[in-house]
Structure 1
Amino acid sequence: MIDENTQQVVWKWSSTGLYSSSSAYSILADPGLRSHYHSWLWKMKVPPKVKIFLWILLLDRVLTQQNLLIRNWPTIPACQCCDNTTLETSYHLFVSCDYARQIWTLLQVRFSLPFLTFSADLNGFWLQNRAYIGQFWDIIWAAATWAIWKERNRRIFANKIMPPNLLMAEICASIVAWSTSA
C-alpha cells in the first residue's frame, strides 16, 4: 500500500509499516484464513511443495484451463489428459477425467481400497474417502493428485505422455517415500 502523505510503500500488516517475516507469518497463520481441513492438510507427511499445491488445489486456484480462461490468459480449454473436448476444471482433471479415473482404479486395486466415493467436488472427494479409508488416504490422494498435475504439465509443456501404469509406478514410489520419511 502507498501512503498518500509520504508516497512511500507501507506494509499494512505491521504496526511500524515495515515488512518483517514475523508479520508475514502472522498473516499466513491467521486462524481466520484457515478452512476446516487446514490442520489435516498441513500435518500430512508429504513434501512442503505438495502441501502448498494441495492447498491451492482445494481452494480451486490451480491454473487449470478453466482458471486460465477466467484470468483471460490465452489457452486451449480442453483437457489434455482425455478426449481433448472437455473443459479442464480442477474436478475434471483430478477426479472425473478418464485418465484420472484409470489412476484411481489402479490405486484402488493396488492398495485394496474399498469403493471410492466420487463426490461433487475435490474437498468432498478427499474428505469423504479420508473418513472411510483413514489417514493413509491422505498420502495416496496427495501422491496421485501431484502426479496427475505433473503428467498434465508434461503433456502440455514437454509434449510427452506417460501411460497410467507408469504414472502409477511414480505414485507408488512417492507413497513409499513419504510413508517411510520421518
Structure 2
Amino acid sequence: MGLIKNWKPIVKRFEEKLTSWKARTLSFGGRLTLIEAVLVVAPKNKGGLGVGSLAASNKALMIKWLVRFKNEPASLWARSITAIHGDSRCHSYIPLKSSIGGVWKSIVNLGRKSQIQSINAGNSTLREMFPDLYELESDKRCFVSDRYIMNHESIDWFWGSGNPLSNANNIEEWAACLSILQNVVINRDSDVWLWKSSEKVADFAVSAVRNELDYIDTIKETKVLCWLHWIPKKVNCFLWRVVLDRIATREALMIRRFHLPSNQCILCNNTLESADHLLVSCETAKQVWLIIFQWMKLPIPSYMISVVQVLEIINSYKSQKNTKRAIYAVVAATCWNLWKMRNEIIFKQKAFSVAKLIGDIKAISFTWIKNRADLGELNWEKWRSFKI
C-alpha cells in the first residue's frame, strides 16, 4: 500500500464526490460527513471521531492474505509463493526468503508482529509443550494426517519421525503427548485458520480485525464524550477537540509559533488563555457555569478546572435518560457559546455580557433538543424551568 497507484481508487472517489470549490467551503462537520460517506466508519465509544483508521484497514487486509495462504494452499498464487519462498530448510508456517523484498515480505513481517501462531493444545502449542520432541522431529513441516491412522472409529497416533525416540526422557515426553492427543477429535474437513480475539474464535473477517486494531491506543480523556445526536455534529466535534486541547486558543497558537499581541485570556485578561481556562476555570466562565448549574437544579461543584472534569461530573449524576442527555446538551451549548463569544470579542469587537450569554445558551440548547430529540411535549415555558 506504499505505492501511489494503490491510493488512486480512493482519490478518485473523493474527486467524484467533491469539486475544488466545495472543498474550501466545507465546515469541520461537513468534512467528517464526507469522510464517513467515502471511507469506512468505526464506533465512536473509544475516543475517536467515528472514522476508521486507514492504517488499521490496511493491516487487516494484509493479514487476510496470510489467512488465505493457509486456507487456500492449492490456489495458483499460493503455490507460486511456496515455489519462490519455500525450501527444505524453511520450517515456518508462512514461507519467506528474507533476501527477496516486496509486498509478500511486508505481509509476512506484519503477520509475525500480529503473533500468528501454530495449532494450539490448550493455551500452548505442542511445540512449546514438548520442545525436545520438536527438536528430534526430522520433518517439522509434516501434516497432522501423517502421524495417525484410523482404526475403525478410533485414532492410533504414532511417532513417524526418521529419528527414533532414543532415550527415556523422549519416551516419557511422547507418552505425555499421546495422553493429550487421545482427547483430540479429528474432523475430516479441510483445515482452516481461524481468528482468535480474547476468548472468541471465529472465521477470519477483515472488519473484525480492523475494529480490534482501532481499539488500540485509545485516548482516555475522550471516554467522557457521549456523541449525542441531539447536538449538531460540528458541536460534538468541537467538544472532542476541546477535550484533546486542539482548539485555536492563544496558548495553542503560541505553541505553533504564531506572533500574538497578547497571550492573556480575553475574558479576564489575567491568565494564559488555554482551552480549560477559557471554558471552565476563568472567573467569568465560573460565573456562567454557576448560573447554568443553578438553572439545571444541579449541585454546584466545589471546584472545576477542566472540561473533562465537568463532563465527568455530569456523567456521574443519577437521573432519567432524557434528563441526562439534556444536561449534556446544555454543557455542550455552554462550551460552544463561550467559544463563540470569545471569537466575537476578538474579531468583531463586541462587548461581553453574561446575561446575553446565558440567554443564548438556553435558547440554542432548546432549539437543538426541540428539533433533534423526540420530546413532543417540550415547550419554552418548561425549558425555562428546566422541566424535561
Q: 1:65 to 1:175 in 2, by over 3 A?
A: same
Q: Is the 8 A contact 1:117 1:125 kept in 2?
A: no
1:66 paired to 2:251: yes
RMSD: 2.7
Deviations 1:44-90 (A, max 9, x none): 410111011111101011111110110001122001111x1310011
Residue 267 of structure 2: aligned partner: 81
Amino acid in the other structure paired with 2:246 = R
Percent identity over paired residues:
29
Residue 141 of structure 1: how far off its partner (Å): 0.9
Residue 310 of structure 2: aligned partner: 125
Residue 166 of structure 1: how far off its partner (Å): 0.6
Residue 39 of structure 2: aligned partner: 22
Structure 2 counterpart SS, 1:80: coil
Matched residue pairs, number? Answer: 171
TM-score normalized by the length of structure 1: 0.81
Output the CA distance in 2 between the equivalents of 1:33 and 1:46.
Answer: 27
Q: Is the 8 A contact 2:333 2:364 kept in 1?
A: yes
1:170 paired to 2:357: no
Output the CA distance in 2 between the equivalents of 1:40 and 1:70.
Answer: 26
Amino acid in the other structure paired with 2:7 = G
Q: Is the 8 A contact 1:95 1:122 kept in 2?
A: yes
Output the CA distance in 2 between the equivalents of 1:178 and 1:108.
Answer: 19
Residue 120 of structure 1: how far off its partner (Å): 4.0
Q: 2:336 aligns with which of 143, 146, 165?
A: 146
Output the CA distance in 1 between the equivalents of 2:239 and 2:225.
Answer: 11
| Larger strand percent | 2
Structure 1 counterpart SS, 2:317: helix
Residue 147 of structure 1: how far off its partner (Å): 0.2
Output the CA distance in 2 between the equivalents of 1:65 and 1:80.
Answer: 9
Residue 164 of structure 1: how far off its partner (Å): 0.5
1:54 paired to 2:71: no
Larger relative contact order (CA 8 Å, sep ≥ 6): 1
Output the CA distance in 2 between the equivalents of 1:33 and 1:57.
Answer: 19
Deviations 1:83-137 (A, max 9, x none): x131001111011112211110111222222123544432122112321264333
TM-score normalized by the length of structure 2: 0.40
Residue 347 of structure 2: aligned partner: 157
Output the CA distance in 2 between the equivalents of 1:167 and 1:33.
Answer: 38
Q: Which consecutive unaligned segments of at least 5 residues does structure 1 have?
A: 4-9
Q: 2:286 aligns with which of 101, 113, 121?
A: 101
